[in-house]
Amino acid sequence: MSSHDLLPIHTGTVIEEDSLTLEQLCHACGVHAEWVISLVEESIIEPQGDEIQVWRFSGASLVRVRSALRLQRDLGVNLAGIALALDLMEELENLRAELKKMQHG
Amino acid sequence: MEYKDYYKIMGLSRSATQDEIKRAYRKLARKYHPDVSKEKDAEAKFKELGEAYEVLQDPEKRAAYDRLGANWKAGEDFRPPPKWDEGFEFKGGGFTGGGGGVFSDFFEQLFGQGGFRTSEQGTRGFQARGQDAHAKIYIDLEDSIRGATRNITLSAPEMDARGHVQVKQRSLNIKIPKGIKPGQHIRLSGQGDPGSGGGKAGDLLLEIAFNPHPLYRISDADIYLDLPVTPWEAALGATVKVPTPDGKVDLKIPPNSRQGSKLRLKGRGLPAKTPGDFLVVLQIALPPANTDRAKAVYQKMQQELNFNPRQPLGV
């Protein structure tokens, strides 16, 4: 029996698509709601729902907000630059995945 | 403790102006930023850079650092000279880039104590919920297909009562829910940063990534397999055994299948309410012409088949 077996097992909940409220997203990333709203206005992240009160964000938005935060904090990139950088990074990631697929065969 | 040459890290001379320091930081930060860079040690380099910038961008800290003298070499065993910081007035202008990053022992020794570090964690008079913590974990495809329990080790910087930052490691056993997809998050309530003033602890958010698998590729909830087939299996059709994470299955290859054709096994991808599919990508393997009999077969094909694959090229 390893020491791991003695630890309790934690069961979490999966963050399903479009399930995070604005408040949850802000708290998860440690940012102000105004900043997240400005990301939505720049269409860096796109919530489901028309009104702020019913906005729901995906787990992917969570990753994007955190990347956006780092780009702003570490590199001083502005919102338009963040939008461009994130889109290009995503495209690069997809191309790398494609490339891996081709090399795999 | 090793001496750190902050100027060398930033590729600057000791006479660099504050503007040059800022420009060098921006340039190197772009190069080594973990979100952007694919260099192997990018994260370590970025941290080192952040530390160097933390000191050099602040005229007070830079002056104190410069006072140590230029004769130290990077990596050299270092003890700060007694009273090295005498006479400096440290306003403790707050930390810029680090954002809770962990700096080296060298940095901590020089700037981590006394007047320099303004503790952000100071006793707050109000109740606040702890921050949510984040981590990325790598699981195997099989963990998602069957569900699993995994032990993970997380390291996070923590500040002790005297304001020193230390990396604390902790171990957690977590349940991997069946059908979890790459890029999804698991929320563990109350496993984030502790709250202050009796506030609730934050949550721990785990981003799921998959280890590369020797056979399968994952795309969203679909699983892909490259399946080698013989030219006659592809041409004439056949039933062949195919490995899937759930065990072997028989797959019918239709006649006249082509290189790269995709065959779909519905619902045999990652489990979910609407499960993903299992996609088999045919890879036609040519038998080597390394015996007289094999050569004879190829020669027969050459004579019997009127086949020019370069017709679309006009030759």
Query: Under an 8 A CB cutoff, do B177 and A14 touch?
Result: yes
Tell me the nearest-neighbour CA distance from B207 into chain A, angstroms.
9
**Comparing B6-111 with B133-210, is the CATH topology the same?**
no
Neighboring chain B residues of A77 at a CB cutoff of 8 Å: none
Query: Under an 8 A CB cutoff, do A70 and B35 touch?
Result: yes
Pair B281, B257: CB distance under 8 Å: no
Does A6 fall in a domain?
Answer: no
Structural domain including A27 reads: 19-104
Does A91 fall in a domain?
Answer: yes
The domain tally of chain A equals 1
Superfamily of domain B6-111: DnaJ domain (1.10.287.110)
Superfamily of domain B221-288: Urease metallochaperone UreE, N-terminal domain (2.60.260.20)
- pLDDT tens-place values along chain B, 315 residues long: 778 889 999 999 999 999 999 999 988 988 888 888 877 788 888 888 988 998 999 888 888 888 787 777 776 777 766 666 655 555 444 444 444 456 777 887 777 644 444 334 444 456 777 888 888 899 999 999 999 999 888 877 666 666 666 677 888 899 999 999 998 999 998 888 888 777 888 889 999 999 989 999 998 899 999 999 999 999 999 999 999 998 999 999 999 999 999 999 999 999 988 899 999 999 999 999 999 999 999 999 999 998 999 999 998
Q: What is the DSSP string of B228-251?
A: EE-HHHHHH-EEEEEEETTEEEEE
Q: What are phi and psi of B103, to 5 degrees?
A: -100, 170
Q: Which of A4, A6, A14 should we substitute to test contact with B (largest number of B Cβ atoms within 10 Å)?
A: A14
Cα separation, B61 vs B92, in Å, equals 9
* Shortest CA distance from A14: residue in chain B: B186
pTM reported for the whole predicted model:
0.70
In B147-237, which ranges are continuous DSSP H helix? 231-236
Question: Of the candidates A28, A67, A101, which has its C-beta nearest B205's C-beta?
Answer: A28
- SS3 letters for B11-58? CCCCCCCHHHHHHHHHHHHHHHCCCCCCCCCHHHHHHHHHHHHHHHCC
Domain-wise residue ranges, chain B: 6-111, 133-210, 221-288
| CATH number for the domain that contains residue A54 | 1.10.1660.10
* Shortest CA distance from A11: residue in chain B: B175
A31 at interface of B, judged by CB pairs closer than 8 A? no
For the B133-210 domain, the top CATH level (class) is mainly beta
Cα separation, B80 vs B30, in Å, equals 32
